[in-house]
Structure 1
Amino acid sequence: MSYVIGVDLGTSAVKTVLVNREGKVAFEASEAYPLYQPKAGYSEQNPEDWVEQTLVSLRKLLEVSGVHPSEIEGLSFSGQMHGLVLVDAEGKPLRNAILWNDTRTTAQCHRIEKVLDGKLLSIARNRALEGFTLPKILWVQENEPELLQQAALFLLPKDYVRYRLTGDYAMDYSDAAGTLLLDVAGKQWSTEIAEAFELPVSLCPRLVESFEEVGTLLPQIADQTGLAAATKVYAGGADNACGAIGAGILSEGQTMCSIGTSGVVLSYEERKDLDFEGKVHFFNHGEKDAFYIMGVTLAAGYSLSWFKDTFAADKSFDVLLQGIDAIPAGSNGLLFTPYIVGERTPHPDANIRGSFIGMDAGHKLEHFGRAVMEGITFSLRESIDILRNAGKTVNEVISIGGGAKNEAWLQMQADVFNATIVKLESEQGPAMGAAMLAAYGCGWFPSLQECAAAFIRPAKSYAPNPETVAAYDGLFALYQDVYGQTRSLNDRLEAYR
């Protein structure tokens, strides 16, 4: 039997999956690592923690599975995006990594927008947001200049781990697209952006395709994990790109909705000249010469978790959501906006905050629970509508993540999006996408599409109900008004937070 391994380097843990030629996950393992928040708005991790726990996870995967190392042909990676790892000439990290959810770089974002103006969107195709990598580099430039002077390269999280496993420096296009230093359409580092901030282009690693072989395991890594030193290693991709691959979003017209802590609407795209004016993200795909369009709701599943922890801490999610399918669409006139940590799409606004609108004495816990789910889904529909307004057809959406675990929520997505929602038989998310990159790289399939056809199987679909679609269309128009009506109020409330 032949296997490949997918390694998903997340924010809280690394997950490894062992996948056979039929696309079945034979075994999986996961190891957590700490998050450091030395100041408000700071979010950091020690890159060595990623390496150590990845090695532990790989070793456990091999021990539990009992699979002979020679049966494992290759491995690849998915990784949390945007995190800054600065390494010196010997490959040693110069400081803790600054993560995607670190918000210290507002001033640097303003600087980028002011210096580059319209060039930023024409080259990097994305607005300057605190999560991206270039603002983090500029923060180091301004606050820790001696470290930047010592830096030989900047890497992203998975690229540092892969370097430690292989000794090879590289970055794939899908992850590089989230740095704001890549010419996304031209697939090369932008000297214009780098030079605008007096950054040497030599700070950027070589660029590779996500499915490209970048080496084999170093002997000491093979010893520590039990894997064969000849195991082929492939570059891998950004977590969202790998999530798209793992959901089979690999051809025109395919769209997915992922509801985890944050929420993502992602659609495959081959046209590189589309202009969304920065309303959505436009990144390189893990598939060659392809892209994906992505809208983000910052607090999707997190809004539901917050609601449960705050108002129903003694209840499980299953108990909390019991009976919501008996509540009519619109929760009897109760609307929720999921802006509890700010918002990303279509409103890149760090100051906006959430609201319940329309509360009355007749509303019970189940009304509030349904309203929270509807508000999250309305926010994701705003991204769906941006795609449709750009001429994309969105008739079917693959739903993954926590939002795919509840039947009522799946039907709600069908009705709010007015599209058929498809739930997958087995969903491993970005880890499966990483395994598929390895399978394709190893030559198991002639294309990623054929790999997806063999690995990914639909389990059930949910068709929109015309009457409910009409009701939600009216409610969605009201939902869209709430942002504009509450923005100035939230700005005035800022002084009291």
Structure 2
Amino acid sequence: MKYVIGIDLGSSAVKAIVVDRGGIVHQTLSKHYPMIQEKSGFSEQDTEQWYIKTKEILAEVMKNFNGKKEEIEGISFSGQMHGLVLLDENNQVLRNAILWNDTRTSKQCEEVVDVLGKDKLLAITKNQALEGFTLPKLLWVKENEPDIFEKVRHILLPKDYLRYRLTGNIGMDYSDAAGTLLLNVEKKEWSQEICEAFEIDSAIYPPLVESHAFMGNITEEFSQETGLSVSTKVFAGAADNACGAIGAGILTEGKTLCSIGTSGVVLSYETPNHTDYQGKVHYFNHGKENAFYSMGVTLSAGYSLSWFRDVFAEKESFTSLLDGIEDIPPGSNGLLFSPYLVGERTPHADALIRASFIGMDANHTKKHFVRAVLEGVTFSLKEALDILRQSRSQIDTIISIGGGTKNKEWLQMQADIFNAEIITLSNEQGPALGAAILAAYGCGWYSSLQDCSRVFISFEDSFVPDPENVDTYEILYELYRKVYQQTKELNEGLKRFR
């Protein structure tokens, strides 16, 4: 039997799955590591922790593996997007990685728009200048840490650095490069115009490759430390959202995904030059060759629920916290929540906006607040879905993955608020499965990603909209959409007190 390993380098943990040629998952393991948040708005990680935890997890995989080590034929990666890793001339890390959820770069985002102009930026990158993207982080280092910037010889994204440590080879796939704000997304090449505009030497950018590209074999050193064979092939991998799409079968036009993790995503497959969203949603290269995807993002999706639990119900499990929300009617008895805990991205690219509970009264219980949180997160995702629907035929079926699938009432809520059938996967492994599919395709097991996905992916359950709830939520949704505009000025005034 032959096997592949999919590795997902997330914001708080690395996950690895072992999958055989028939798509059966044999092992699922994860190891956690911390974020470093020294100041408000700062979010960093020690890159060495990624390597250490990945090494530990793969050593554990091999300890539990019953076959011959040579039977693990390939490894590929999914990774958190946008994070900035800086290497010197000896390929040594110069500072902690600056992560996707770091918001220190508002000034640099303004600089990008001022220098390039909004229209030219969108024409090249298809995306707005947002704090999470890589270019503003690089400009921040250039301005605030010039001694470090002068030593930079390579920039990488998180999974690409991890892959370098396994193989000794440097590169970046198109799907992750699309989130740097440095790539010409349509031409699939680094933008010389952006390099020249900001006086950045394009030599620091890594070679660009397809997500299924072979990047080398495991090094002898890594083999000895983990028990993997040096014959194990390593493939480039893709951005976490691209891998999530692959792992859910979003590989042909019309396919749409809702992913609720720490952040929330609504994502649709796009053929080349399908439409121009003018920066209202993200538009990135797919992990599938010569394909793209559009994507709206809610920054605090599952994070809103975990925040509520940590602050107001610290000793409760998520299961206990959600138990009984089906007894609370849609609308949570007149309570609305806007999930802007760390700002927002779609449709409001706003780093200053903050969350609100609207309509609280003395009759509301903890369960009302919990349901309101779930509804507010889902309303936010619907705002992104509405943008996608404006440019295409009706989206009436959505595959749901992530933490939002762990509770049937939340799945029904998605069906009612989105007014679409919601389908879940029978053995969801998220972006790690997408990485495994890329490895299987890279190894030549199947002739296409679609053929591989048909073997690796199966569906479990579906939830159809309740017409009465759909009508109720349409009314509530229109009220929810007013919250942003009516709290924007208040939150700008409150910034000085944070």
TM-score bracket, shorter-length normalisation? over 0.9
C-alpha distance in 2 between matches for 1:411 and 1:373 = 11
The equivalent of 1:416 in structure 2 is 417
The equivalent of 2:230 in structure 1 is 229
Q: Deviations over 1:148-169 (max 9, x none)?
A: 2222211111111111211111
The equivalent of 2:92 in structure 1 is 92
C-alpha distance in 2 between matches for 1:467 and 1:29 = 42
The equivalent of 1:135 in structure 2 is 136
1:206-245 to 2 correspondence within 5 Å? 206-245=207-246
C-alpha distance in 1 between matches for 2:219 and 2:275 = 42
C-alpha distance in 1 between matches for 2:163 and 2:319 = 39
Tell me the secondary structure at the aligned position of residue 444 of structure 1.
Answer: coil
Letter in 2 for 1:231: T
Structure 1, 145-154 or 53-62: larger mean CA deviation? 145-154
Structure 1 residues 329 and 272, CA gap change in structure 2 (3 angstroms):
same
The equivalent of 1:18 in structure 2 is 18
How far is the alpha carbon of 1:112 from its aligned partner? 0.5
C-alpha distance in 1 between matches for 2:8 and 2:487 = 39
Structure 1 residues 40 and 310, CA gap change in structure 2 (3 angstroms):
closer
Structure 1 residues 70 and 252, CA gap change in structure 2 (3 angstroms):
same
C-alpha distance in 2 between matches for 1:324 and 1:195 = 55
How far is the alpha carbon of 1:207 from its aligned partner? 0.3
Letter in 1 for 2:446: F
C-alpha distance in 1 between matches for 2:237 and 2:189 = 18
How far is the alpha carbon of 1:466 from its aligned partner? 1.3
C-alpha distance in 2 between matches for 1:375 and 1:356 = 9
C-alpha distance in 1 between matches for 2:115 and 2:394 = 36
How far is the alpha carbon of 1:221 from its aligned partner? 1.4
Letter in 2 for 1:38: E
Q: Is the 8 A contact 2:422 2:464 kept in 1?
A: yes
Letter in 2 for 1:433: G
How far is the alpha carbon of 1:247 from its aligned partner? 1.0
C-alpha distance in 2 between matches for 1:248 and 1:273 = 19
Letter in 2 for 1:6: G
Q: TM-score with structure 1 length normalisation?
A: 0.97
Structure 1, 193-202 or 32-41: larger mean CA deviation? 32-41
Letter in 2 for 1:40: S
The equivalent of 1:333 in structure 2 is 334
How far is the alpha carbon of 1:273 from its aligned partner? 5.4
The equivalent of 2:390 in structure 1 is 389
Q: Is the 8 A contact 2:335 2:360 kept in 1?
A: yes
Letter in 2 for 1:287: K
Q: Deviations over 1:168-216 (max 9, x none)?
A: 1110000000100000011000000111000111111110000011111
C-alpha distance in 2 between matches for 1:344 and 1:392 = 24
C-alpha distance in 1 between matches for 2:246 and 2:107 = 35
1:322-401 to 2 correspondence within 5 Å? 322-401=323-402
C-alpha distance in 2 between matches for 1:120 and 1:55 = 39
How far is the alpha carbon of 1:106 from its aligned partner? 1.4
Question: Are 1:247 and 2:248 an aligned pair?
Answer: yes
Letter in 2 for 1:75: I
Letter in 2 for 1:339: Y
The equivalent of 2:28 in structure 1 is 28
Tell me the secondary structure at the aligned position of residue 211 of structure 2.
Answer: coil
C-alpha distance in 1 between matches for 2:145 and 2:319 = 48
Question: Are 1:102 and 2:102 an aligned pair?
Answer: yes
The equivalent of 1:468 in structure 2 is 469
- What's the RMSD between the two structures over aligned residues? 1.3
Letter in 2 for 1:179: T
Tell me the secondary structure at the aligned position of residue 421 of structure 1.
Answer: strand
Tell me the secondary structure at the aligned position of residue 4 of structure 1.
Answer: strand
The equivalent of 2:316 in structure 1 is 315
Question: Are 1:147 and 2:148 an aligned pair?
Answer: yes
How far is the alpha carbon of 1:92 from its aligned partner? 1.4
C-alpha distance in 2 between matches for 1:496 and 1:453 = 53
The equivalent of 1:178 in structure 2 is 179
Tell me the secondary structure at the aligned position of residue 17 of structure 1.
Answer: strand
Structure 1, 35-44 or 84-93: larger mean CA deviation? 35-44
Q: Percent identity?
A: 60
Letter in 2 for 1:91: N
Question: Are 1:78 and 2:74 an aligned pair?
Answer: no
Letter in 1 for 2:408: E
How far is the alpha carbon of 1:392 from its aligned partner? 4.3
Letter in 2 for 1:99: L
Q: Is the 8 A contact 2:332 2:369 kept in 1?
A: yes
C-alpha distance in 2 between matches for 1:86 and 1:393 = 43
The equivalent of 1:296 in structure 2 is 297
Structure 1 residues 496 and 140, CA gap change in structure 2 (3 angstroms):
closer
C-alpha distance in 1 between matches for 2:32 and 2:318 = 23
Structure 1, 327-336 or 116-125: larger mean CA deviation? 327-336
List runs of 5+ in structure 2 lacking aligned partners: none
